[in-house]
Structure 1
Amino acid sequence: MSKSTVQSPTAKRMWKPHRGPQTEAFRYFHVYEILYGGAKGGGKTDWLLFDFIEPELIEKPHYRGIIFRRTFPRLREIIDRSFVWFSSLASYNKQERCWVFSSGAKLFFAHCQYEESKYDYQGHEYHYQAFDQLEEFTESQYEFLKVQARSTDPKIKVRIRATANPGNVGHLWVKRRFIDNKEPIVVYKDTLGLTSMFIPARVYDNPSLMDNDPMYVKRLEALPEQDRKALLDGDWNIFAGQYFKDWRVYKHVVEPFYIPKIWKRFIGGDYGHHKPSSIGWYAVSPEGIVYRYREIYKEGLHYNTLGELLCEESRNEDIEYGVFDPAIFGDKQHHTKTKDSREGKSGAEIIQESINEWFKKENRQNDSFIIVRGDNRRIGGWGTVKQALKDETFKIFSNCTNFISTFPANVHDPHKPEDLNTNGEDHTADETRYALTSMPPETDLKSEKHLSHVSPLYKMNQIKKEREEYER
């Protein structure tokens, strides 16, 4: 036994699931993906621990499981909880942070604090993969980590398990994936044949907690109404902590329409390499409404590739400028796939070079546009974004699906409530902040440079001219 292994004590505690949701969750062993959650105190963490210990599988020496929490301090909570039940069943390896069962089967504990932390688990093989408090994770973290759940043994089926409460950075995507338009405790099958299910849980389903701490429910009942509905009742229609409270799909999302050439256009961007780059195309109407009409949302883009994409997507458009996060003006790490050839230049310089080269090849040097540094004053910038939402002077085309799914999911920073929590998918939000604080250009109706004779704007200008001549 290694020095990092703790010998299990002889004391033994027995555990069995409570009647109701916990028992139901165990019954559906064959379901690939299960979310068990809703209210606090439903016995969700114990379920995650014991769902790993399937009698037939725990005897297999190569059986592997892993339970994720978003941060290490919170991971310690579930590790401490596991000692209550597992000390008599297995030995704990401190170095690997896992329980080792007599057969050789292992249950690991891990955290994924940052977006790029997900790459730490690339190439691993887990038959049982669990997420405690799934609403703390981003959707891209969950999707990437899920791919690591696989089996080379046909007798061991892969299982994904998660617990969650309403709220936090993952509220909207968890709700969309498991709850919207679905009935609880019903198995659903997707186009690939993978099954999923949502099992609701409430504190009243956990008699152990009710008996040991009868005042726990009273404390939940004393919470503000929004928090009480989310944490006591497990109401997923309540989104506690939402940062952009004025966001409404029916107000801010519009169907795509033809944008006249006379409208001023520009690009906003928040660069990411191990996390998504969020790029948005913006057009300003004569009334001053800013429309986000196109997007790129993609990981792994090098700066030169991004510059070329900006040009290709904007091929027949007049772009005034591109405003990006200030970090790219100092970043020298993600240039090109052969980055040695461009050492010493910043990301912004590489993008600008790629744009200039593209327009030169097209023999359109005069149509090139510049990349400028975004305003990174966060609190003031968020105020600008919130005001635009409130005044309905910022709207999004419905084809910008990544924006629509991630932007409204942002929540307050628990340590700095006036700011946004950067643990979520804040890339579209940051991009929008840079765009709306860049003093977007005004569209001047007096300019007829690009107007067609059949354009409503052209006709409107003609009517205006005739009226002015008549009045003179």
Structure 2
Amino acid sequence: MDIEITPRQAAFIRAEADEVLFGGAAGGGKSYGQLIDAFLFALKYAGSKQLMLRRTYPELEKSLIRVSYDLYPREVYSYNRSGHVGRFRNGSILDFGYCDSESDVYKYQSAEYDVIRFDELTHFTEQMYLYLISRVRGANDFPKHVKSSTNPGSVGHQWVKKRFISIGAPDVVHSFKGGTRMFIPSRVQDNRFLLEHDPEYIRRLENLSERDRKALLYGSWDITDGQYFSEWDEAVHVCEPFPIPEGWRRYVTMDYGLDMLAAYCIALDGQGRAYVYREHCESGLIVSQAARAVKELAADDEINTYFAPPDMWNRRQETGKSVAELFAEQGVYLAKANNDRVQGWYNVKEWLRPRLDVDGVKRAGLVVFRGCEHLIESMPALLVDPHNPNDVADEPHEYTHGPDAIRYFLAGRPRPAEAAVERDEDYVPYDDQVNGFLSYGL
């Protein structure tokens, strides 16, 4: 075969990191690079197994399957449409798969692959990715990789950016406890084949909206794709921890399910400003374990109220008791919060909005201590529900638990401290113009 590839595609094919991300701008030849890499791997390692994924089957059929059928020579490759599997004459297999929902990942529960390839990785949730890459295994000597390609944006933008973009310089292999990762950027300007055949493509990208132009023409990861809380600004809403004065009212709020307990300690100052000062996020906890975790989170603090969603008062079939009753048996007495989603999210937006303080400085009504990392990561990751622009989308689901807990707290109309309290003599408040910390002159 006479195969021509770009230097960026060659870098992707040569990449030896455990996890590789190839992409950025549109037109960089990402999907073609995936197909060529899969073809070369299949021929080099006879009997190898690979999985090529898109989020939906129509996307899979109209792009990867169609192009592979035209690209791979019939002398060495055949495709079975009913099974969505490509077979090479040396015994190698290339499965084409999709995941419409998070439960679809279990279709691959018993599968083993030498390489798994995600095309348009940001269309997948983090939970899908983490489960599916566990299928990279096998009792052979073939290299094991997860190779992905994508543009910025969509439901997985935040977690992909965190996993591959924010870890350091591109084109460099970065080592982590679980293996190695690498990001290989590509732009349309890198794909001379496309520009030679379609020189007007860049002009069409330049006519897009500012957000789409940044993502698709420049491959920028500093975009907000349908972000619900556009008010969120880490410089405004995150501060360094400080000792909570004794007179401030303290609350605990939570969202609980077997998939995640997200619980927070929150204190209100004399001006009604809320500080999220402690966090516990953990999955797989049964009710008694969750109750003990919440009790330990509160420690020796004098908690005014424990807020929880209404579904925790539903009776469980196996015990006849509600989760709220089981929490009470552990000494944690819950207050039922309002679960109106739309009005609740509007309320959170109001608390995030900076407002004038008594000293004439604008400060947000809700501030999070650095260290509550799950909440800090989740707030900007929430997306607008595509079916209801007033609500938050269910995906990425892993980011909904912490904000839900905050919504319950604010819906409970928490009361501020009754009076200002003097701080310790050795406590020196920071000035928010200097380093982003909040000082109230209490």
For normalisation by structure 2, the TM-score amounts to 0.83
Partner Cα separation in structure 1 for residue 349 and residue 209 of structure 2 = 24
Q: Is the 8 A contact 1:230 1:240 kept in 2?
A: no
- List runs of 5+ in structure 2 lacking aligned partners: 355-363, 426-442
Question: For residues 3-18 of structure 1, what are the structure 2 equivalents within 5 Å?
Answer: 16-18=3-5
Q: Is the 8 A contact 2:42 2:88 kept in 1?
A: no
Partner Cα separation in structure 1 for residue 379 and residue 38 of structure 2 = 35
Residue 212 (structure 1) shift:
4.5
Question: For residues 198-347 of structure 1, what are the structure 2 equivalents within 5 Å?
Answer: 198-273=183-258, 275-330=259-314, 332=316, 340=318, 342=319, 344-345=320-321
Residue 247 (structure 1) shift:
1.1
- Aligned partner of 1:139 in structure 2 is 126
Deviations 1:280-304, CA, capped at 9 Å, x for gaps: 2222122111111222222222223
- Aligned partner of 1:440 in structure 2 is 414
Of residues 358, 361, 376 in structure 1, which corresponds to 2:330? 358
Partner Cα separation in structure 2 for residue 296 and residue 415 of structure 1 = 31
Q: Is the 8 A contact 1:229 1:238 kept in 2?
A: yes
Q: Is the 8 A contact 1:267 1:323 kept in 2?
A: yes
Deviations 1:181-235, CA, capped at 9 Å, x for gaps: 622222233355x332211111223344334544432221111222211210111
Computed over aligned residues only, the root mean square deviation of the Cα atoms, in angstroms, reads 2.9
Partner Cα separation in structure 2 for residue 189 and residue 119 of structure 1 = 29
Partner Cα separation in structure 2 for residue 50 and residue 328 of structure 1 = 52
Q: Is the 8 A contact 1:308 1:354 kept in 2?
A: no
- List runs of 5+ in structure 1 lacking aligned partners: 1-13, 334-339, 360-367, 458-472
Deviations 1:6-33, CA, capped at 9 Å, x for gaps: xxxxxxxx673422211221122x2222
- Structure 2 counterpart of 1:134, which letter? L
- Aligned partner of 1:150 in structure 2 is 137
- Aligned partner of 1:377 in structure 2 is 341
- Structure 2 counterpart of 1:410, which letter? L
- Aligned partner of 2:428 in structure 1 is none
Residue 456 (structure 1) shift:
5.5
- Aligned partner of 2:353 in structure 1 is 390
Partner Cα separation in structure 2 for residue 277 and residue 399 of structure 1 = 17
Pair 1:240–1:302, CA change in 2 (3 A): same
- Structure 1 counterpart of 2:79, which letter? Y
Partner Cα separation in structure 2 for residue 420 and residue 188 of structure 1 = 34
Q: Is 1:429 matched up with 2:391? A: no
Please state whether the residue corresponding to 2:404 is helix, strand or coil: helix
- Aligned partner of 1:112 in structure 2 is 99
Residue 110 (structure 1) shift:
2.8
Pair 1:175–1:385, CA change in 2 (3 A): same
- Aligned partner of 2:438 in structure 1 is none
- Aligned partner of 2:6 in structure 1 is 19
- Aligned partner of 1:413 in structure 2 is 385
- Aligned partner of 1:461 in structure 2 is none
Q: Is the 8 A contact 2:272 2:415 kept in 1?
A: no
Partner Cα separation in structure 1 for residue 311 and residue 204 of structure 2 = 44
Structure 1 window deviating more from structure 2 (418-427 vs 112-121): it is 112-121
- Structure 2 counterpart of 1:289, which letter? R
Question: For residues 72-221 of structure 1, what are the structure 2 equivalents within 5 Å?
Answer: 72-77=57-62, 78-86=64-72, 88=74, 89-153=76-140, 155-180=141-166, 182-191=168-177, 194-221=179-206
Count of residues in Structure 1 that have an aligned counterpart in Structure 2: 412
Q: Is the 8 A contact 1:202 1:233 kept in 2?
A: yes
Q: Is 1:46 matched up with 2:32? A: yes
- Structure 2 counterpart of 1:216, which letter? Y
- Structure 1 counterpart of 2:39, which letter? I
Residue 140 (structure 1) shift:
3.6
Structure 1 window deviating more from structure 2 (32-41 vs 421-430): it is 421-430
Pair 1:15–1:116, CA change in 2 (3 A): farther
For normalisation by structure 1, the TM-score amounts to 0.78
Pair 1:94–1:304, CA change in 2 (3 A): farther
- Structure 1 counterpart of 2:219, which letter? G
Partner Cα separation in structure 2 for residue 325 and residue 76 of structure 1 = 42
Of residues 371, 375, 379 in structure 2, which corresponds to 1:403? 375
Partner Cα separation in structure 1 for residue 167 and residue 309 of structure 2 = 38
Partner Cα separation in structure 1 for residue 265 and residue 108 of structure 2 = 34
Pair 1:51–1:384, CA change in 2 (3 A): same
Partner Cα separation in structure 1 for residue 56 and residue 284 of structure 2 = 24
Query: Between the two proteins, what is the percent identity of the paired residues?
Result: 34
- Structure 1 counterpart of 2:7, which letter? G
Partner Cα separation in structure 1 for residue 54 and residue 239 of structure 2 = 37
Residue 430 (structure 1) shift:
2.3
Partner Cα separation in structure 2 for residue 54 and residue 241 of structure 1 = 38
Pair 1:157–1:227, CA change in 2 (3 A): same
- Aligned partner of 2:440 in structure 1 is none
Residue 159 (structure 1) shift:
0.6
Partner Cα separation in structure 2 for residue 232 and residue 174 of structure 1 = 19
Q: Is the 8 A contact 1:264 1:283 kept in 2?
A: yes
Pair 1:120–1:402, CA change in 2 (3 A): farther
Pair 1:59–1:174, CA change in 2 (3 A): closer
Pair 1:199–1:305, CA change in 2 (3 A): same
Pair 1:71–1:55, CA change in 2 (3 A): closer
Pair 1:384–1:72, CA change in 2 (3 A): farther
Q: Is the 8 A contact 1:69 1:111 kept in 2?
A: yes
- Structure 1 counterpart of 2:370, which letter? S
- Aligned partner of 1:6 in structure 2 is none
